[in-house]
Structures are given as structure tokens and as C-alpha cells.
Amino acid sequence: MKNLVHMRRFWLAGAVLVATLALLPFSFRAERHLETATRIDGSEAGKVPEELATRFHSPFVDRVVLVVQGLPPTDSEAGEQALATIEKSLQEEPGVSGVVSYLDLHDPIFLGKGGGTFVLVGLTSMEGPVELLVPKLHELENSLQNQLRGRYPAVRLELTGETPLNFDIRKASSDDVRRAETLAIPATLALLLVAFGSLVAALIPVAIGQLAIASALAIAGFLALRWHLSILVQNLSTMLGLGLGIDYALLMVSRFREAIAVEPDGVKAAVIAARQAGRTLLISASTVAIGFLALLTVPISEVRSIGLAGVLVAGMSVLLAYNVVPALLGALGPRINSGRVTFIASWDEHRAARTANRWRGWGKVIVAHPWLAIILAGAPLLLLASQAARLDTDVPNGDWLPSAAESVRALHTLEHMDRVGIVYSLRVILELPTDSIAQTDADWNALDRFSKRLASDPRSHRVISLTTMAESDRSGLDNLPRETRRTFLSRDGRAALIEVLPATSVSVNDQIKWVRELRKAGAATLTGVPGATLRIGGIAALTADYQTIVRERFFSVIALVVGGTLVALLCGFRSLFAAVKAIALNLLSVAASFGALVLVFQDGRGSSFFGVAEGTGSIFPIVPIVAFAIVFGLSMDYEVFLVARVLEARRSGMSELEAIPEGLARTAGLITSAAAIMIVVFAAFTFGGFLVIKMLGFTLAVAVLIDATLVRIVIGPALLRVAGDWNWWPGGLTAPSGSVIAGE
């Protein structure tokens, strides 16, 4: 019977491994299906491009800005000829749905301060996101630049706008992933060598981490064919795969090495390790998955994508660690200690016992002075956590876009030309309840009043609408190009687009405030027409919707994570106090990590070490909600490891005074090793160029550092001592029938 069970386990492990390996080739293609554009379900800003596409049939729903410098003045004959060459080439490019420049409208908005001009290029992609058209546009841009350089040596063409910026953010994200892996994997391998003293034992967790990343990315790539998934899937899968995959495999390998020291038969030792560590892995993965599942309730593509990435990575990590690793360990047997590193191996002979005795001694100190330990460790954490109350989730100050990207350089060029508002414009759709705006004086006048009201605001640089282009005379509509007319007037004539270009000096946060003011006032008040409605789109409007949803959903996500984790811990430990204590300590870890985030990034105290010259003044809205979900699950790992061992010791007959030091002796070394790996992985992402990921990596690294030291090694054991037998009420000390709860 035992042989049959072993064979079933072997075949199951083989099936999991084969399926995982079959997914590997698809992981390399996942990136092309992931998006950088933010999508918010049901948002007002998201409805604007939908209406421009369906009601207006505008060729400029998605658009890029080609910044042109080094040509003769645009209003000269030579300048017009050069610009005509550029326009003609753009119009012939597949995917380009519209082109407009000074040649078409003779509008001074196209004439930048200090020289230079720009061309607006509309895009339509039938095969995936429009940002996939950017590489072809870059090729055309380079070709045109080379063609014109013979006559105009100083000519420079650069693409910018929301779509090219998204494309360059995608590239920066990919570069960050590769850089982080380059830094994290060697450092992680070195830490595992120190932990195990054996190359074979060290390589297994690294391999499992890589398999978890690849399989999660491959599955995400398939799902992206049906749903909108963010490029952040790539960052988070790598970050979490290196952390969770390695941690779970580390737990299994550690348990196996304990078992093989007593039971020389590799298969039997692997079964013992899987049985002892399996329940811990299940509880740990459940608490991690709960946090990510809560993120799926937030109707923002980026947040949902991170939630999906976390669920996939946690699931694949525990699947591989529980099935593939024991089978591999059973096949290796005592050879798990092969590849001994000489200077570490000699030190390793007696260090396990010495390390366990040191942690056992530390545990005795904690149980002897629990209140002193709680005060000394808790006071600085509470002080740090208090800084989290100053967390500001506005858009960070400064230039945080990847500086080397062409789209960012072109954006700065537009700033110098005093024309950057064309990228950050508010796209306002005004709908009137009566007849066609172009055919009735009352509606035309209402549009004109609204346009002038927007133009009179000091935050406005320029307002472009039908009335401004036709110079307030409806007869002037006939002189407008067809593309322009259908961009600014819906086909039924009842809705009009107004482009509001904010002044260069107006920050994104001020634009967001402006959007909220306009929405609050309402179209009826702004136009004087009862029943009128308006919808505002553009980068500032989308950011406003983003902030609103994140702030509205933040506490519901907290409630879901805390409630779900409480249920999982109650099921795992059957102890109310142990579950509540774990959640309280997790909240302390999260709050302290948020406090550190505020001090370093928001206030700028030490931010230069992470490549941020000064304080950002605020934190991206996505960081707190995502960091909470991730930190809460990851921090629970170490609580599960420790409490499971203490509970195991209590069930074996030890008193609370004996069980706590014994639990520390068995787990503290593993917790510190696992935490060191997590910190290295998360810290590697703080040195990339993507500020969102910098902030997230920093928050996670600090949270793990705090959690694995002061919280789990000092405050946690002290609270166990203070609670005594109440730790395990009502049924913790009674082992579940047919199972062994164990953990490291």
C-alpha cells in the first residue's frame, strides 16, 4: 500500500513538472500581450474615448505627437514643403487614421515658443493595443529624419504622447525585471549556500522560484488574450516568484534535511517532510492568496493584474513545492548534501546545533521578560507606524518618467516650446438635450459660452472647440477639414468635444483638482442649459478616477484581507487568540513599512540612495493598496512557521515556557534565512527606473525586515508567553485527526 502511495505521489509530481515545463516557451511571449495603458471599469474618463470612437468616429481617439525641430519656420515655403513631406509619409503608414498639423489648420498652437512645431497623428490598431504601432512609427521617424537631414542637418523628430509614453514604460518595466533578476538570483543563491552549505540543496529553491515565475507568466499571457492585463504582471510575477517560490521550497528542503538525518531512506524522508511541511505551506499560501484575491475586486486593470499575478505565483509555488520538490528530494536522498562548499561545509557541521541553542537561549530570555520585550520592540515600531498617518496619495512631484526614453525627451521639448498641454489636454464631451449644435443658434451659443468659460480659467492655456475654430460663427464650419469636424462634433450633432490645453505651469495634481471642480459644478451650471451633461477624459481625468476608486476600495480590501485571513488562520490553528494576534502583528508590520515609505520617498530622507533626488511629496495611489495585500500575506508566512512549531511542541507535551524557546530554536534560523532572501529580492527592484516599482519594492523589503526581526522574533513570542494557554483556545491543543500540523 505504501509503495502504491509513493508511486501515485511520483506520477503526480511528474505530471505537475511536465505541465510546468510545457508552459515555459509561452512565458517568453507573455509580455507582448500585456498592456501599459490603465483601464478603469465604468470610469467617466474611460467612456470619453469610447464615445469618440462610436459616436464621433474620430480618427484621433488614440494619438501620438510627433515633435519636429530644426526645420525652417513652418509658415515659410521651405518649412511647408518639409512638413508636407512628413505629413504625406505619415498618412501612408498602416495604422495611421489621421494627421493634422499647421498646414491643415494654420493655428498658432502648432508654432512652439522658440521655434519648432508638432504633428498630431491619430492611430487605429486592428491587431492588439495601439502601442504595438509605436516601433513602426519609430522606423518611419528615423527614415524621415535621415531623408531631411541632407538639407536640414539640425532636424530632429521625436514621438511622444500617452501611447509612446506607455510603450517606453513597458520597456523600462522589462529592463527593471532583467536587472532585478541579475542582482537577485546570484545574491539569493549565495544566501542559500550559506544556509545549506550545499550547492545541490541551494539550487533546488532557485529552480522552483524560476519555474513558478515562468509558469505564472505563461498562464497570464493566455488570460491576457481575453482580458486586459497590465505589464505590472511581469514585475510582480518575478518579484513574488523569487520570494514565494524560493521560500516554500526552502521550507521543504529544510524539513527534508532534518528527516534524512534520522531516516536514511530518501523516499521515506521526503514523505515525512511533505507531511510535516504540507499543512504549513497550505495555510501560508492561503493567507497570501487571500490578499491577492481581494485585489481582484478593484475595477482597475493594474490592480486586478497584480492580484491575478499574486494568485498565480502563490498557487504555482505551493504546487511545485509540495509535489515536485518532495519527489526530487526522494530521488536525491542523502545526495541532497552533494556539492559541499568547503569553507561553509566545515562550518556547517556543528553550526545547526549551535544556532538552535542560541535561538533557544534567546527564547528563554523573551519568556522570562515578555513585557520588557514588548515595550522595547513595540515602541519604535509604533513611532514609525505613526508616520503612516501622513501618507499622501496624490501624484508624486518631479520627473519620475524614465529619463532616457525618447517619449520623455520629446515631452520635455514640448515643455520648452510651451506646448506640453497637447499631451495633458482635458477632453471634454458636452452633450445638449436639444437639436444639433451645428444647426441651432441656442446650442451653438451654449457651446461658445462653455468654451469661453473654460478659456477664461487661469489654468487654461488654450481651448479648442468648434466655436473657437469657426471663430464663433456657424458658417465657418464649412471651412473646417472633414477630419477636424468629425473629431469635434458627434454624428448626431448633439455632442461636441472641447480640448482644454492646461498651462505648462499647472501641475497634474492641479489639473486633477480642476477636473473634480468641473464635474462637481455640472454641465447645467456651466452652460446654463438644463439637462446638459459633460464627460471629461484625458490623463488628469483618468488619474482622478483612479485615485477615487483606490480610496473608496482601500478599506473594503483591508476588510476582505483581514476577514479572509482570520478565517484561514482559525481553520489552520483552531485558536482564536493565535489568529487575532497574527493579524494585529501584521497590521503593525504594514503600518511601520508605510511609515518608512513616507519618511524615505515622500519626505526624501535618504531617497537619493534609491536614485530619487528629492522627496516625491506623495505616493502613487496603487502602492498602499497593493503593498497592504502583499505584505499582509507574506508577513503571515513567518507567523505560521513559528506558531505551527510552538503548537507542535505544546501538543507533544511541553509547557508554554518550554515550547516557545523550542519553537524559536526550530524556526528562527529558517525565518531569518527566508527573510534575507525576500529582502534581497525586493531590494533589487528598488534600483530600477520605474518609480512605482521602486516604492513597492522598498515597502515590501522594509516590511519583511521588520516582520522577521522585531515582530516575529521578539514581540510575537512575548505575546505567546503573556497569553499562556489562552493562545490555543478553544481547540488548538487538540490535533486534527489524521493530520500533523507542523512548520518551520
Q: Rounded to whole angstroms, how far apart are CA atoms 174 and 31?
A: 8
pLDDT at 659: 82
Cell of 190: 549565495
> For the residues 615-637, what does the mean pLDDT come to?
83
Among the listed residues 584, 493, 490, 502, the one whose alpha carbon sits nearest the alpha carbon of residue 543: 502
Return the top range by mean pLDDT from 241-245, 366-370, 427-431, 631-635: 427-431
**CA 36 to the chain's CA centroid:** 11
Q: With bands split at pLDDT 50, 70 and 90, how would you rate the model's confidence at 339?
A: low
Angle at 453 between CA 451 and CA 457, to 5 degrees: 115
pLDDT at 341: 63
Among the listed residues 266, 205, 275, 277, the one whose alpha carbon sits nearest the alpha carbon of residue 241: 205
pLDDT at 498: 93
Q: Rounded to whole angstroms, how far apart are CA atoms 713 and 728?
A: 19
pLDDT at 737: 45
**CA 280 to the chain's CA centroid:** 27
Model pLDDT for residues 44-59, shown as the tens digit of each residue: 888 999 999 888 888 8
The answer, yes or no, to whether residue 2 has pLDDT greater than 60, is: no
Backbone angles phi, psi at 112, to 5 degrees: -75, 155
**Strands of the sheet with 62-69, listed across from one edge:** 96-100, 117-123, 62-69, 156-160
Model pLDDT for residues 60-73, shown as the tens digit of each residue: 988 999 999 988 88
The answer, yes or no, to whether residue 744 has pLDDT greater than 50, is: no
pLDDT at 713: 83
Owner of C-alpha cell 508605510:
594
The answer, yes or no, to whether residue 348 has pLDDT greater than 70, is: no
Mean pLDDT taken over the chain: 82
pLDDT at 742: 38
> For the residues 190-217, what does the mean pLDDT come to?
82
pTM, 2 dp: 0.81
CA distances for 157 relative to 89, 170, 699, angstroms: 13, 21, 39
pLDDT at 460: 92
Owner of C-alpha cell 446654463:
528
Model pLDDT for residues 161-179, shown as the tens digit of each residue: 988 888 887 777 777 777 7
Q: What Rg, from alpha-carbon coordinates, does the chain have? A: 30
Q: Which amino acid is it at 38?
A: T
Q: Rounded to whole angstroms, how far apart are CA atoms 278 and 649?
A: 17
Q: 159 or 204: which carries more pLDDT confidence?
A: 159
The answer, yes or no, to whether residue 522 has pLDDT greater than 60, is: yes
Q: With bands split at pLDDT 50, 70 and 90, how would you rate the model's confidence at 471?
A: low
**Are the beta carbons of 59 and 97 closer than 8 angstroms?**
yes
Among the listed residues 431, 440, 421, 422, the one whose alpha carbon sits nearest the alpha carbon of residue 489: 431
Q: Tell me the DSSP string of 229-264.
A: -BTHHHHHHHHHIIIIIHHHHHHHHHHHHHHHHH--
**Are the beta carbons of 333 and 260 closer than 8 angstroms?**
yes
pLDDT at 739: 40
Q: Rounded to whole angstroms, how far apart are CA atoms 294 and 289?
A: 9
**Strands of the sheet with 426-431, listed across from one edge:** 460-464, 495-502, 426-431, 533-537
| H or E segment and range at residue 664 | helix 656-684
Q: Domain boundaries in the chain?
A: 176-398+547-728, 425-537
pLDDT at 384: 93
Return the top range by mean pLDDT from 408-412, 648-652, 673-677, 686-690: 408-412
Among the listed residues 567, 562, 611, 564, the one whose alpha carbon sits nearest the alpha carbon of residue 588: 562
The terminus-to-terminus CA distance of the chain in angstroms comes to 29
pLDDT at 362: 82
Give the largest Cα separation in the chain, rounded: 96
Model pLDDT for residues 130-144, shown as the tens digit of each residue: 878 888 999 999 999
The answer, yes or no, to whether residue 495 has pLDDT greater than 70, is: yes
Q: Tell me the DSSP string of 704-729.
A: HHHIIIIIIIIIHHHHHHHHGGGGGT
Model pLDDT for residues 689-740, shown as the tens digit of each residue: 778 888 888 998 999 889 888 888 888 888 888 877 777 777 656 655 444 3
Model pLDDT for residues 25-43, shown as the tens digit of each residue: 777 777 777 777 778 888 8
* Total residue count of the chain as it appears in this document: 744
Model pLDDT for residues 325-335, shown as the tens digit of each residue: 888 888 877 77
CATH number of 425-537: 3.30.70
> For the residues 545-556, what does the mean pLDDT come to?
89
Among the listed residues 155, 129, 130, 127, the one whose alpha carbon sits nearest the alpha carbon of residue 141: 155
Q: With bands split at pLDDT 50, 70 and 90, how would you rate the model's confidence at 387?
A: very high
Q: Rounded to whole angstroms, how far apart are CA atoms 646 and 302?
A: 39
